[in-house]
Structure 1
Amino acid sequence: MKLFTTHVIVTFSLVLGVTWSSLAQNLDSTRLDSLSNVYAEYLHTKPQIAEEAAVQWLKESRRLNLNLQEARALYALGNLGNITGDYKSTINYTYKAIALLKKSNTEKGLAACYNILASAYKSLGEYPKAIDNFMECLRYARLTNSQTQEANAYQNIATLYLLQKDYKKSAENLDRAADLYRSIGDDDGVLTTLFNFANILKEEGKFDQAREHYQTVLEYRIKEGNKAVVAYININLSQMLVVEGKCREAIIALEKTLVLLEELKFHSDIAIVLNDLGLCESKLGNTKSAINYFQRALAIGEKQSLFQYKSDIYKNLAQLYQKENNYKKALEFHQKGVASVADQNSLDKEKYVVKIQERYETELKEAKIQLLEKEQKLSEAELQKVELTVKRQKLIRNVLIAGFTLVLFTLIVLRLFYIQRLRVQKELSLQQEENAKQQINKMINDHKLSVIERYQEGQEEERSRLAREIHDGIGSDLASIKIAFEHYAEYHEEDVKSKRIATAISNACIDLRSLSHQLHPLSFSKIGFTSFLSDFIDQIIKKSNIKIQTFFFPREDIDLLPDELLADVYRIVQELINNILKHAEASHVDVQLTKHKDHLNIVVNDDGIGFQKIKSKA
Structure 2
Amino acid sequence: MKKKSLCLIILILFIPLTICGEEDLSFESLQLKSSVSKKAEDYYKLCEYCYEHDVELSSFAVCLDSMKCAALREKSVYYLAQYYNLHAEYAYVLDSMKLYAENKKKAYLLFKGLHRSDLQADCCGELGYYYNIITSYDSARYYLREGIHLFERLDKNDTYLALLTNLASSYLYEGINDSALMHSQNALKWSEQMKDTVMQIENLNQLGVIYRKKNMPDQSILFYEKALHLCDLIGQKMRVPSLYFNIAILYAESDRLEEGLDFSRKALDYSLKIGDKNIIGASFMNLGSLLVKNKMYDNAIDTLRNAISIVSEVGNLRTLFLAYQNMTNAFYKSSRLDSAWVYQEKADKLAAKFDSEPQLFNYYQGKASLLNATGRYKEAIPIYHRLLQNYIDFPQDFRKFEAYNGLAVCYAQLGEFDKAYCYLDSAYISKDSVLTGERSKQMSDFMVKYQTKEKELEIAHLKEKQSRRLLYYIISWFVIVLFILYRAFRNKIKITRLSLLAKEKEKEFMVLQKETEVRLTQKYIDGLEAERKRLAQELHDGVCNNLFALEMNMNALTDSPDSLKESVAMLHQIREDVRGISHELMPPVFQYATIDEMLSDYISHLCRTASTEIQYYSTRTVDWGKLPQEVGYEVYRIVQETLNNSLKYADASLIEVSLVYKNNLLMITVSDDGKGFDLNKKNKGVGLRTIAERVKSIGGELNIKTGTTGTMVTVTIDMEKKYGGQVNDNIIGR
TM value normalised by structure 2: 0.37
Q: What TM-score, normalized by structure 1, do the two folds share?
A: 0.43
